[in-house]
Amino acid sequence: MTRRQILQLGGASAAAQTLPQTKPNIIVLFADDMGYGDLSCYGHPNIQTPNLDRLASEGIRFTSGYAAASVCTPSRVGLLTGRYAKRAGLPTNLGPESIGGLPLSEITIAQQMKSQGYKTAAIGKWHIGHSPKEYLPTSRGFDQYLGLLYSNDMIPPWVKTERPLHLWRNNDAIEPVTDQSQLTERYTDEAVNFIRKSAGNPFFLYLPYAMPHLPVSAPPSRRGRSRAGLYGDTIETLDWSAGQILGELKTRGIDNNTLVVFCSDNGPWHDLPPRMLAQGVEPWHTGSKSLFRGAKGTTYEGGHRVPFLARWPGTIPAGRTSSEMVSTLDFFPTFSAAAGARVPTDRLYDGYNLLPTLKGQAPSPRDNYKYFLGKDLQGIRQGPWKYRQAGENPPELFHLDFDPAEQYNVLDRNPAIAQSLASRLAEDRVNI
């Protein structure tokens, strides 16, 4: 039966129910400040995350997955544009009083998806520009938005500002946020409703949670469950959220046509500034970086290497663990390829198409990764080798396969490799 015959028989609604959806749905679950070791599938002894563990067991778990940066705003810039934040023009964090944001000339994943007929939604923390309104999500490719415009700590007593924290829907502030414990549940309900309303149409859902960025919180019904305390309760609430979303996909019969990825924007926020230790915030309300050195706001592995999961039943072979290098920078070209969109040729991209890697057909095309802190390019990884030169500190060379914890500087033993990477770093500092 032809499409015209279907339309004649039952109208557009019958056609939507009869014709198969060929483009996959895409969901990004994006935690805030979650450490590499915060999930049970990454080795946490006390936090239980069965739903996210299921993403790993039914898909692929990467052990060399990198966020685009080690702090909030530039990490989101890299994810949404496929370009290092310095190249995209927004390499530092924004605050409540910030004007401008991600340059309007930049193209987001949401704009790419919309060009292919996708419904798009952003639910959660935005943090790449909110004033004027041209920088809001609904002007950057998203059909709808619900969330916070920046980090959940950007209120007194943690940050000096006169602006109260508000929940926004589309282009308007709809209510003040005085109790953050309900945010994950609120976002989850919104995400499930978006999936329901998108039935029969391809959709792109970007869900950047507020948690576990400080101050951490969990709904009263989920507190006291984890042996890891309030931080564990917060992570296990995110796991509950992932379970609700996976369950809705199955209920709607679209499980096998949906790519779900989960990762974090950077590593845990250790070595807290004194301003953060207020109103019940404790030093141990931050995550685990596992064996890695450094944390959020550094260019050691603990700041950039994050949990990184992907699941697409029937397309991504189940039960794989991979040490291949991947990054959130790769989402833009990967999702573009999945949706049948061409990556624009009028600018340079720093991401790679991971579809063949996800499908088990080829190794990751990513052979290098660059470690930025703001505008400062401090390191580069090429294969297993990482060269780091930060400020006036002596240069460092690590073999990340032998020494993922970056304990042993082997620069003196490998001068040729160090010199080659130093030259590459100097060149990239000029060209990016």
Distance, CA of 71 to CA of 158 (rounded, Å): 17
Catalytic residue, from 41, 44, 72, 213: name it. Answer: 72
**Is position 41 annotated as part of the catalytic site?**
no
Distance, CA of 346 to CA of 353 (rounded, Å): 18
Write the CB contacts of 217 (distance below 8 Å, at least 6 apart in sequence): 179, 180, 181, 183, 211, 230, 234
Secondary structure, 3-state, the chain: CCHHHHHHHHHHHHHHHHCCCCCCEEEEEEECCCCCCCCHHHCCCCCCCHHHHHHHHCCEEEEEEECCCCCHHHHHHHHHHCCCHHHHCCCCCCCCCCCEECCCCCCCHHHHHHHCCCEEEEECCCCCEEECHHHCHHHCCCCEEEECCCCCCCCCCCCCCCCCCEEEECCEEEEECCCHHHHHHHHHHHHHHHHHHCCCCCEEEEEECCCCCCCCCCCHHHCCCCCCHHHHHHHHHHHHHHHHHHHHHHHCCCHHHEEEEEEECCCCCCCCCHHHCCCCCCCCCCCCCCCCCCCCCCCCHHHHECCEEEECCCCCCCCEEEEEEEEHHHHHHHHHHHHCCCCCCCCCCCCCCCHHHHCCCCCCCCCEEEEEECCEEEEEEECCEEEECCCCCCCEEEECCCCCCCCCCCCCCCHHHHHHHHHHHHHHHHHC
Tokens standing for residue 120: 């798009």
Distance, CA of 421 to CA of 55 (rounded, Å): 36
Catalytic residue, from 127, 213, 270, 304: name it. Answer: 127
Catalytic residues: 72, 127
